[in-house]
Copies of this chain bind each other. A is one copy, B any other.
Amino acid sequence: MQFHQDGFRPGDPRVALPAPDVVDGQGPLPDEVDVLVVGAGPAGLTLAAQLSAFADVTTRVVEQKPDPMTRGQADGVAVRTMEVFDALGFAGPVLEEAYWVNETTFWRPDPEDPTRIVRHRRIEDTPEGLSRFPHVILNQARVHDHLLDVMRRSPRRLEVDQATRVVDVRVPDDPDARVEVVLEHLDGDPDAAEGSDGGERTTVRARYVVGCDGARSSVREAIGRRLRGDSANHAWGVMDVLVDTDFPDVRRKAAVQSADAGSLLVIPREGGHLVRLYVELDELAEGERVANRDVTVEHLVAAARRILSPHTLEVHEVAWWSVYEIGQRLTDRFDDVPEALVDQRDPRVFIAGDACHTHSPKAGQGMNVSIRDAFNLGWKLAAVLQGRSGPQLLRTYSEERQAVAAELIAFDRDFAAAFAAPAAAAAARERTSRDGTGEHGPGRDGAGEDFQAMFVRKGRYTAGVETHYAPSLVTAGDPHQQLAAGFVVGTRLHSAPVVRLADARPMHLGDVLVADGRWRLLAFGDAADPGDPTSALHGLCHFLADDPASPLRRHTPAGADPDAVLDLRAVLQQPHDALEPTALHPVLRPRVGTHGLVDHEKVFCPSPTNDVFDLRRVSRSGAMVLVRPDHHVAHILPLTAHAELSAFLSQILLPT
């Protein structure tokens, strides 16, 4: 955490100085804003938290509900989402509060007596080394709280305007005109939330509007997009309960498939006592709707008891419960640009999260993918609004995230089907599989794949680290991938341990990936002494510092810190005690802030016990790894490929 660079400032360094125009909080809703976020769920708040860090970007968040959420809904936080939380500054408290998913167990009917379940297998939930964070479980409401804290501490002192409903969204034909959003203020009356038109109305004119307003998104409707997909035919119940049970895995994530009573998922929760149970209900008849079935929480408890038999289950308190149907649905584009005009027009209205994709909660992906939708969009909006990039950057949002959502929907269909499949069939498949050619056997690619095998095989996917953006304006092809095989172009930078040169601090490369909108160039050094003018790293430093074609010179605004747009970091091959920080090229010791103080935190050395060059298979000739503001690897280049670096960044960043 860096602070005091503009002079000593007492108090909590997490609380930013307010922007000059922010006096007593964010103030009343203005007539014009840069970004209007509709909906204060995980996607909306993640977007708002990111944008609130930019003192010169005005954002507001409107939410139809009168009060912040306090319970229920999503709870899974995948390791990749923890990395996003870390970039936003609150991974620490989440790690403290949350349940850590360390193991997952699988239960099946006892072959001796199929009316009883027995533990069949126990696996490590997240493979070692996948991320520096664990997979955790935490109430969505608490995730909201942490995001709201980030917003409140930001230069914009951003808060949610609750009880504010979108009535209309008007996108003018003039591409330079603002989008007009008509809002209705519900005055905290929850009954007014639907259909009423009694509240006061105001119009906000926004440069960009983002609909994070859930599966029944009014923003999506206003731009004429539809959720398309399967109608649901499996019903599930979910409940957060305080229980007494002799089921031994009530504090482990457990997937239970009974012989005849259905399936159940045990998700232990934060605080040591609460547990979430997902309970399979009967298959729905064609067209039958859950809402018509009069399911009560007592039904859910009774079903859970049958599935867990012979184990006891006494429910002391139900904190929250719900019943839902599985339905996989997807929107074809995540912005307002008609298909025919995709190459000509830049988007002004976006949708994110459940407004774009709905699916079962079983694989714990909903909140995660929504948060990552927003994490993809936030830096792009800020870059365009701050004049660092042209508006065509915004076209990549729908391109990238719609593909991710399509993959998710396909995955979820298979995953939910495998989980709901009768255990006996699964066991039969497994017997076949054991005669096959390895762990996964013949079922590997089929819809009928065994749930356990699929769970293991898809571990990296559900952890969120397999998102792989295709080549685009912001992601290069991978002709130089072999220079750093462990940093895969298009995927999120896989962090690795390093030692900071200036202070010998053991840390993670990922720790520097703060969500501040900056591109990062990780220059992995060649074997020569980095102070030697003939070294390739020194050559790169010289180019970046002095060449007119340097992206630092081309894209950094006058008066800004030299690392304001592109943050150069070096990772050297030498051990940290073999180098003097003061002998490095000055571009690796940039002067920042009003005092022009040296930033000492740009250079890293290998951890003595786990060399990042070996761990991530980085060439000993060095390599440049260019990282997008959302952590995805944009490009890998030889240290000497100065012109290629400049050319790539010139497509994305505007000249100053």
User: Which residues of A approach B to under 8 Å, CB–CB?
Assistant: 1-5, 7-8, 10-13, 70-71, 92-93, 95-97, 99-100, 102-103, 122, 141-142, 145, 240, 242-244, 246-248, 250-252, 268, 270-274, 316-317, 319-320, 502-506, 577, 580-583, 593, 595-601
Contact = CB atoms under 8 A, between A and B. Distances in A.
A598 B97 contact: no
Contact of A506 (B102, B505, B601): B102
A611 B4 CA distance: 43
Given A4-B242, A577-B122, A10 B70 contact: yes
Given A248-B581, A580-B248, A242 B70 contact: no
Nearest to A71: B10
Nearest to A89: B96
Contact of A2 (B141, B273, B320, B580): B273
A272 B5 contact: yes
A272 B92 contact: no
A243 B7 CA distance: 11
Given A271-B1, A503-B268, A595 B13 contact: no
A102 B503 contact: yes
Contacts of A274: 4, 8
A273 B505 contact: no
In order of increasing CB-CB distance, the 8 nearest A-B pairs are A8-B319, A10-B70, A3-B271, A251-B502, A102-B504, A251-B503, A316-B595, A4-B271
Contacts of A247: 582
Nearest to A319: B8
Given A2-B273, A8-B317, A271-B2, A597 B244 contact: yes
A15 to B, nearest CB: 11
Q: Which of A2, A4, A100, A246 has the most CB of B within 10 A?
A: A4
A240 B9 CA distance: 12
A250 B601 CA distance: 12
Contacts of A3: 270-273
Contacts of A317: 7-8, 595
A599 B580 CA distance: 53
A328 to B, nearest CB: 31
B10 A251 contact: no
A597 to B, nearest CB: 5
B503 A99 contact: yes
B248 A600 contact: no
Nearest to A501: B251
Contact of A597 (B1, B248, B273, B319): B273
Contacts of A250: 600
A123 B278 CA distance: 54
Contacts of A596: 244, 316
Contacts of A70: 10-11
A11 B68 CA distance: 10
A504 B248 CA distance: 12
20 contacts: A1-B97, A1-B272, A2-B272, A3-B272, A3-B273, A4-B319, A5-B273, A92-B92, A92-B93, A92-B96, A99-B503, A103-B503, A243-B597, A248-B580, A251-B503, A251-B581, A252-B503, A268-B503, A316-B595, A316-B597
Contacts of A320: 8
Contacts of A240: 8
Nearest to A253: B503
Q: Which of A5, A244, A272, A582 has the most CB of B within 10 A?
A: A272
A599 B320 CA distance: 21
Contacts of A268: 503
Nearest to A142: B12
A126 to B, nearest CB: 12
Nearest to A12: B145
Contacts of A242: 4, 7-8, 595, 597
Nearest to A576: B103
Given A13-B97, A248-B583, 5 more contacts: A3-B270, A8-B317, A92-B93, A102-B504, A272-B601
A498 to B, nearest CB: 13
A39 to B, nearest CB: 20
Contact of A10 (B12, B100, B141): B141
A124 B303 CA distance: 59
A576 to B, nearest CB: 9
B502 A582 contact: no
Given A251-B581, A252-B503, A503-B251, A244 B598 contact: yes
A608 to B, nearest CB: 11
A142 B273 CA distance: 34
Q: Which of A145, A240, A598 has the most CB of B within 10 A?
A: A598
B4 A273 contact: yes
Contacts of A13: 97, 270-271
Contacts of A99: 503
Contacts of A142: 12
B2 A505 contact: no
Contacts of A316: 595-597
Contact of A71 (B8, B100, B270): B8
Nearest to A601: B272
A10 B122 CA distance: 32
A179 to B, nearest CB: 35
A271 B592 CA distance: 13
Nearest to A593: B273
A251 B582 contact: no
A141 to B, nearest CB: 6
A173 to B, nearest CB: 46
A512 to B, nearest CB: 12
A71 B7 CA distance: 13
Contacts of A10: 70-71, 141
A542 to B, nearest CB: 20
